[in-house]
Structure 1
Amino acid sequence: MAAIVWLVAGILLAAAEMLTGDLTLLMLGSAALATAGVSGVFDPPLWVDAIVFGISALVLMLGVRPFLLRRFATPPPHQTNAAALPGKTAHVLEAVDGHGGRVKLDGEVWSARSFDPAEAYEVGATVYIMKIDGATAVVWKGP
């Protein structure tokens, strides 16, 4: 009977891990499954089950979990290419308005248009890249 309880607890904990993703519940579920195995084979008293669970949980939490976190943790994605440009500054090379213009951005010349079609930016102004629309930088002078 105790083996079935440990088995169900292990399966439920492992399933609940899908909601958290930090591998804690998976380690506890694995410890419960190990305890279910020991309980099913040897039929020990409950206090032995508790000791087996405690030792298994400690070994898994302190030994296996840190290794798995280092191995499978993904670093936050870095923006690259055009996705990395919004928020950067550019210098106006040709007057920019709602219809077009040119800016120098990170050493490259880009076609540009103003974020607010009613605004125009003169040569030499510093503007912020709001977004990239195709091959055109949409810029804004800022507040």
Structure 2
Amino acid sequence: MAEFWRWVAEHGWVGWLGASAVLACAEMLTLDFTLLMLASGALAGGVTAVFLPGAWLIQVLVAVAVGGVMLAVLRPTLLKRVRDAPGYRSLLDQLVGSEGTATRQVTSETGEVKVRGEIWEARTMSPGVTIDAGESIEVYQVDATTLIVYPASQGLGWSGGART
């Protein structure tokens, strides 16, 4: 058993490499760059373990320091680049153009709709328009947490942007 622990102490980099791989793979499920930054910290801990086997405290400190710096410096930069990329649409922006159903009467002041399986506060885009519960709607705009909608049956009143 002592031989096993000696091997673990001498080859701690294998554990760090495994932790780094697990975190990097888990990042593919979140796509938020957080786990990727932590994976880089674990990789740095593994590199430290190669040069300083048995120095667990230093390995942990290096892993925490590198992961923390990556989270604080690199992650915000990467997120900004992704969000500023052409064609990027946030989850709220993706709601524009979606179809749904009014769950309560929708007026220009208040209402409720169901879009993509979620209930949202809503109001019509035009004053005087009322959408009854059960009618189909389309999302025109997102205003904070309120969807601006119009009746799907009536459309927006133009044909492909061309004036008639």
TM-score range, shorter chain: 0.5 to 0.7
2:126 maps to amino acid: T
User: Normalising by structure 2, what TM-score?
Assistant: 0.49
Write out aligned runs for 1:67-86 (5 A): 67-73=77-83, 74-76=88-90, 77=93, 83=97
Higher relative contact order by CA 8 Å / sep ≥ 6: 1 or 2?
Answer: 1
Unmatched segments (≥5 aa) in structure 2? 1-10, 101-123, 129-134, 136-148, 158-164
Residue 38 of structure 2: aligned partner: 28
Residue 57 of structure 1: aligned partner: 67
Report deviation, 1:71: 1.1
Q: 1:5 to 1:130 in 2, by over 3 A?
A: same
Q: What SS is found at the alignment partner of 2:152? A: strand
Unmatched segments (≥5 aa) in structure 1? 92-114, 116-127
1:89 maps to amino acid: S
Report if the CA contact (8 A) 2:12-2:54 is conserved.
no
Take 1:58 and 1:90, find their aligned partners in 2: how far apart are those partners?
51
Runs of 4+ displaced beyond 4 Å: none
Report deviation, 1:66: 1.1
Q: 1:53 to 1:75 in 2, by over 3 A?
A: same
Q: 1:58-98: CA deviations, max 9, x gaps?
A: 11111111111111134423777xx49x943389xxxxxxx
Q: 1:78 to 1:4 in 2, by over 3 A?
A: closer
Superposed CA RMSD in Å reads 3.4
Q: 1:44 to 1:63 in 2, by over 3 A?
A: farther
User: Normalising by structure 1, what TM-score?
Assistant: 0.55
Would you say how many aligned residue pairs link Structure 1 and Structure 2? 99
Take 1:48 and 1:129, find their aligned partners in 2: how far apart are those partners?
61
Q: 1:101-143: CA deviations, max 9, x gaps?
A: xxxxxxxxxxxxxx7xxxxxxxxxxxx84116xxx6399xxxx
Take 1:59 and 1:46, find their aligned partners in 2: how far apart are those partners?
20
1:12 and 2:26 correspond: no
Write out aligned runs for 1:120-131 (5 A): 129-131=150-152
Identify the range of structure 1 (35-44 vs 55-64) with the bigger mean alpha-carbon deviation. 35-44
Q: 1:138 to 1:22 in 2, by over 3 A?
A: closer
Report if the CA contact (8 A) 1:130-1:137 is conserved.
yes
